[in-house]
C-alpha cells in the first residue's frame, strides 16, 4: 500500500467520523428514536467504503462491490426499521453520502471526497437556519426561481448560436445568456435585501441595489435625501456603497465574456475601486444605520425580466454602433462612443467592448474605452448627487464620486 492509498483511507474514515460526530451531537444516535448510528458506525462506514475504493483500483472488483453493497444494505435495513416511527431519512441519506465519498477517497479522488463531506456537514449542522430560511421564502420568490430555471435550462439550449445579419450580426443564445446574467443579478440583490433585513439600513440596501444599477441607486437616494434631510448621511454612504459595487460588477461582466481582458482592465479600475471601498467602509463604521431602506427594484418582480430584456436589446444596438465606429474611425471612434455610451449604461458598454473591440483591435483599447465610459458615468452620477441631493448628501456622496473620478482620470492620464 503506497502513501497515497493510506491518505485516501484516512480521508474516508475521517469523513465518516465528521458526519458521525454531527449525528451523535444532534441526538440522532441515542434514545428511543435513535437512527442508524453515531460516530463509530459512520467512521466504520467511511473506512469500509474507502477500502472498497482501494480494492477497486487493485482490480478486486467483486470484493469492492460486496463491501459497498453490504453498506447500502445496512442503510436500507436501518431505514426500514426506523420508518415505522419516523419517516425522516436524513441520517440514512448522510450514510449513503459517506459511502460514496469514501469510495471516491479510496480510488484517489480525495479533494472531491473532502468537498462532499464538507458540504454535507454544513447542511446537517445548519438545519435550523436552513429550515428558517425556507420558511421565509415568499411565493413570488419561489415562482421567480422556477422561471429562472426554465429560462436557463429550457430556453437557452434551444436558441441558435448565430450570428445573423450585418454589423457583426445577432447572436440569440449569447443575448439570452445576458438576459439570464442580469436577471440573476437582480434576483441576488432582492435576496440580499431580504437576507440582511430592514434593520441593516441604507448601506446594505445600496450594496444590493448596486448589483443592478449604481446609477439608479444614486438617483433614488439623492432625491430621497432632499425629501428626508435627516437621512442624508446614511443615504450618502448607501450611494457610495452602490458605486463601490460597480467596479467588481464590471470586472465580473468582463470575465464572463473575455477573461484575458480582466487583468488589463483591473489596472484602470483598481484605484477608484479602492477609493469607493474605503469610503464605504468608513460609512459602515461611523454612520448610524437607519431602521429601513427603500427598495431599489420592483419587489413584485425579483427577476426584473423586462429590464434584463431591455438591456439585451440595448447591448445589441450598442454592439452594432461600436462595430460601425470601429470599422469607420478606428480607436478614436471607439473612445468617443465609449464616452457617450458611458453616460447611459456602463454594462452595455462593457459587454460590447469586451466582446467586439477586445477581439478586433486590442485588449488595451477595450480596457481604456471601458475606463473612459466608467469615468463619464461617474461624472453623470456626481452631477445627480450635487443637483438633487441634500447638503450632507452632496458633501459625502458627491465628494466620494469626485474622488473616484479623479483617481480614474489620473490612471487614464498616466
pLDDT tens for residues 317-358?
766 665 666 566 555 666 777 777 676 667 777 777 776 666
Q: Residue 297: what pLDDT?
A: 43
CA 204, CA 278: separation in Å to the nearest integer? 15
Given a cut of 50, whether residue 294 has pLDDT beyond it is no
How large is the average pLDDT for residues 193-210?
A: 63
Least confident stretch, 220-224, 230-234, 252-256, 357-361: 357-361
Q: Is the pLDDT of residue 188 over 70?
A: no
Residue 379, pLDDT score: 86
Q: How many residues does the chain have?
A: 414
Q: Which three cell numbers stand for residue 376?
A: 463619464
Q: Looking at residue 406, what is its pLDDT?
A: 93
Phi, psi of 170 (to 5 degrees): -105, 130
Percent of the chain with pLDDT over 70: 75
Across the range 300-313, mean pLDDT stands at 67
Residues 243 and 225: beta-carbon distance below 8 Å:
no
Q: What does pLDDT average to over the chain?
A: 78
* Residue 253, C-alpha cell as written in the block: 461582466
pTM equals 0.53
Name which residue leads in pLDDT, 359 or 56.
56
What is d(CA 111, CA 119) in angstroms, rounded to the nearest whole number? Answer: 12
pLDDT for 293 = 46
Range in 106-110, 122-126, 213-217, 394-398 with the lowest mean pLDDT: 213-217
pLDDT band at 311 (very low <50, low <70, confident <90, very high): low
> What DSSP line would sit under 15-26, residue for residue?
HHHHHHHHHHHT
Q: Give the pLDDT of residue 274.
A: 92
User: pLDDT tens-digit profile of 27-76?
Assistant: 766 655 666 778 888 899 999 999 999 999 888 888 989 998 988 888 88
Q: What is the pLDDT of residue 381?
A: 86
Number of H-type helices and E-type strands within the chain: 19, 0
Amino acid at each position: 500500500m503506497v502513501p497515497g492509498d493510506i491518505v485516501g483511507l484516512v480521508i474516508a474514515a475521517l469523513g465518516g467520523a465528521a458526519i458521525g460526530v454531527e449525528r451523535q451531537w444532534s441526538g440522532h444516535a441515542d434514545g428511543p428514536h435513535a437512527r442508524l448510528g453515531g460516530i463509530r458506525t459512520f467512521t466504520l462506514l467511511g473506512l469500509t467504503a474507502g477500502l472498497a475504493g482501494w480494492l477497486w483500483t487493485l482490480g478486486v472488483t467483486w470484493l469492492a462491490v460486496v463491501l459497498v453493497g453490504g453498506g447500502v444494505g445496512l442503510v436500507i435495513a436501518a431505514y426500514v426499521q426506523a420508518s415505522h416511527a419516523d419517516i425522516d431519512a436524513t441520517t440514512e441519506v448522510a450514510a449513503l453520502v459517506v459511502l460514496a465519498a469514501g469510495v471516491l477517497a479510496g480510488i484517489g479522488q480525495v479533494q472531491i471526497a473532502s468537498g462532499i463531506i464538507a458540504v454535507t456537514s454544513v447542511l446537517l449542522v445548519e438545519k435550523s437556519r436552513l429550515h428558517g430560511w425556507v420558511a421565509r421564502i415568499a411565493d413570488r420568490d419561489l415562482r421567480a426561481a422556477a422561471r429562472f430555471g426554465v429560462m436557463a435550462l429550457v430556453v437557452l439550449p434551444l436558441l441558435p448560436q448565430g450570428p445573423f445579419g450585418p454589423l457583426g450580426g445577432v447572436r440569440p443564445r449569447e443575448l439570452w445568456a445576458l438576459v439570464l446574467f442580469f436577471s440573476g443579478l437582480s434576483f441576488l440583490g432582492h435576496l440580499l435585501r431580504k437576507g440582511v433585513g430592514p434593520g441593516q439600513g441604507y448601506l446594505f440596501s445600496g450594496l444590493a441595489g448596486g448589483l443592478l444599477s449604481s446609477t439608479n441607486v444614486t438617483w433614488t437616494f439623492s432625491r430621497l435625501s432632499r425629501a428626508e434631510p435627516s437621512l442624508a448621511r446614511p443615504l450618502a454612504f448607501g450611494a457610495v456603497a452602490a458605486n463601490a459595487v460597480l467596479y467588481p460588477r464590471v470586472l465580473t461582466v468582463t470575465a464572463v465574456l473575455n477573461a484575458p481582458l480582466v487583468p488589463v482592465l483591473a489596472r484602470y479600475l483598481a484605484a477608484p475601486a479602492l477609493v469607493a471601498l474605503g469610503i464605504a467602509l468608513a460609512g459602515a463604521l461611523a454612520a448610524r444605520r437607519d431602521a429601513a431602506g427603500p427598495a431599489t427594484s420592483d419587489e413584485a418582480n425579483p427577476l426584473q425580466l423586462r429590464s434584463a430584456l431591455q438591456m439585451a436589446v440595448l447591448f445589441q444596438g450598442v454592439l452594432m454602433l461600436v462595430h460601425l465606429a470601429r470599422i469607420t474611425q478606428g480607436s478614436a471612434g471607439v473612445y468617443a462612443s465609449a464616452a457617450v455610451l458611458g453616460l447611459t449604461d456602463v454594462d452595455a458598454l462593457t459587454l460590447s467592448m469586451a466582446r467586439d473591440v477586445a477581439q478586433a483591435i486590442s485588449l488595451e483599447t477595450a480596457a481604456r474605452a471601458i475606463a473612459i465610459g466608467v469615468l463619464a458615468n461617474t461624472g453623470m452620477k456626481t452631477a445627480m448627487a450635487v443637483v438633487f441631493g441634500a447638503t450632507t448628501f452632496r458633501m459625502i456622496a458627491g465628494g466620494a464620486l469626485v474622488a473616484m473620478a479623479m483617481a480614474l482620470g489620473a490612471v487614464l492620464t498616466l
